[in-house]
Amino acid sequence: MGNDKTWTELGLNALLEEALRGHGLTQPTDVQADTIPALLAGKDVSARSQTGTGKTLAFLLPMLQRVDAASGSIQGVVISPTQELAMQIVRIAERYAEPLGIRVQQLIGGAAMKRQVEKLKLRPQLVIGTPGRIHELVKNKKIKLHDVRFLVIDEADQTFQLGSEKDLEAVLFAMGKGRQTAFFSATYPEEMARYEGRWMNDPIRFQLTMEHRVSQTIDNLYVVSDRRDKTDTTRRLIRLLNPPQALLFLNDTNEISNWESKLRFEGFAVETLYGDSDKQRRAATLARFREGACQLLLATDVAARGLDIEGLPLVLQLDPAVDADHYVHRAGRTGRMGKPGTVITIVTPQELFIMDKFRKTLGIDLSERAMYRGKLLSDEQLREATRPGAFRSGGKDAAAGNARAEGSSTRNEAVERPARGAAPARRQAAVSGASTDGRRAGGEGAKPAAATGAGRPASGGAGRAAEQAASKPAAKPAPKTLSKAKAKELKKREGKNKGAPKWLKEKRESTKKE
């Protein structure tokens, strides 16, 4: 924590301070120290702070303190992009609302609307939910928001960009204009300025400084792979590291099912997490992942907002984060509470510049690794492993070993090729030697019959035998001389049989014999 303020100095009342101390929270975080006084003063606030820094309490505590517990109208609304995150906020809100006598109601999609409408009869002062369900209740006139004084949009960038902007705008229009508005988010894209200008009144902006935004206990690495090889690279990485659990990030929701089928085919236990999944399915998926029933969880940035998986050892980015803020959010899923963690990004050669950008922007050690003989090696380790002689000296260098093996193979082939050609050479030598012997036996003018074409036998029995062996194979008898008519018939038959199936050829042969 970068401040030495107390809860009392921030302006919180004694009941909230006692509840905080009861849960072991004795000192506010930086984002809480910055935003709570401004929110208690009634100012509109736009705050960017990464997940895990205490954003939820930063906006809940001032809202709970300012809500009138004696009133039966809805005074505070918190909107979240996902059901999981909304339920996390509900659990925290109920914990600190109870001592103040404030009633909290969840309004999320995927849950039974009839039951939610029944609970609204208890007249909650604070409602927390997703844009779609709140809009649905407003449209059906099951809920009135004209008395709302405090509005918080958590993960505002994603809430506006989730395809629910129309639902969100309808909810905002249903509220009174005199409300206090706060945007909290882990990232701050350019569009946020437009949303602030439209829905906020002279907001105070709080931006967490970039230094040390990624936990110091996290190893930040990347592996280069062609796009077509990403599936194989992912498989090899997971087999190599063999983590008990790993969270895999994708940029495109449409690719989740494709990756799920590929990883299942490779034999991995995989679950998927969609931002718009119903409550029961989402909760069941996270329960299986937390309990270790599945090893891999595929998700997008939106679906993973607010996820807190204790002791998660590995985050694997199948697509690089779209910006530094999203990288911080993804990395924040591991290495929590000072525990070690690893973040590995798979990038194509064309995406290497993104790694340079994150390295400079976030001030982190983001280095390349290569998979090699069951290890992830740095450039220096890879050079050492592949230096000449490393294989012979016991180094784990497959490339050098393969190169030497390939060289040996090439050399062996160079040796074997003359060996395969030796028999013809020896035969030629034998022919030459026999001819020479024949000339020696029959005189200078003697030549083999095949060479002269005259059919005269060479002088000497040894010379004639050598010449006959050289001129034709001993195993085959001399061909019979055919008449012109027979030769013509044979040629015609061969022409018919050319390209004919085997059974037809056999039939013709048998007919000819008959």
Using CA atoms, how far apart are residues 342 and 337, in angstroms rounded to an integer?
A: 14
Give the pairing type, strands 366-368 and 218-224. parallel
- 8 A C-beta contact, residue 175 and residue 210: no
Chain centroid to CA 348: how far?
Answer: 12
Domain with CATH 3.40.50.300 in the chain: 7-207, 218-368
- The Cα 54–Cα 50 span in angstroms is 9
Q: What's the topology of domain 218-368?
A: Rossmann fold (3.40.50)
Q: Cα(106)–Cα(113) distance, rounded to whole angstroms?
A: 11
Q: In tens digits, what is the pLDDT along the chain, a chain of 514 residues?
A: 456 789 999 999 999 999 999 988 989 988 999 999 999 999 999 998 766 678 899 999 999 999 999 999 999 999 998 777 888 899 999 999 999 999 999 998 877 889 999 999 999 999 999 999 999 999 999 999 999 999 999 988 878 876 567 888 899 999 988 899 999 987 777 788 888 998 999 999 987 654 447 878 889 999 999 999 999 999 999 999 999 999 999 988 888 999 999 999 999 999 998 766 666 777 788 888 888 889 999 988 776 766 777 788 999 999 999 888 788 888 888 877 667 899 999 999 999 999 998 998 888 999 999 998 888 888 888 888 777 766 554 444 444 444 433 333 333 333 333 333 333 343 343 333 433 343 434 444 444 433 344 444 444 444 455 555 555 555 555 555 656 677 777 777 676 666 666 667 676 666 655 5
Residue 100: what pLDDT? 94
Please state the pTM of the whole predicted model. Answer: 0.53
Which residues make Cβ contacts (< 8 Å) with residue 441, sequence separation at least 6? 458, 459, 460, 462, 463
Domain 7-207's class? alpha beta
The one-character DSSP state at 428 is: H
Taking the C-alpha atoms of residue 472 and residue 469, their distance in angstroms, rounded to an integer, is 6
10 Å Cβ neighbour count for 295? 17
Residue 84: per-residue pLDDT = 73
Tokens of 30: 């930086």
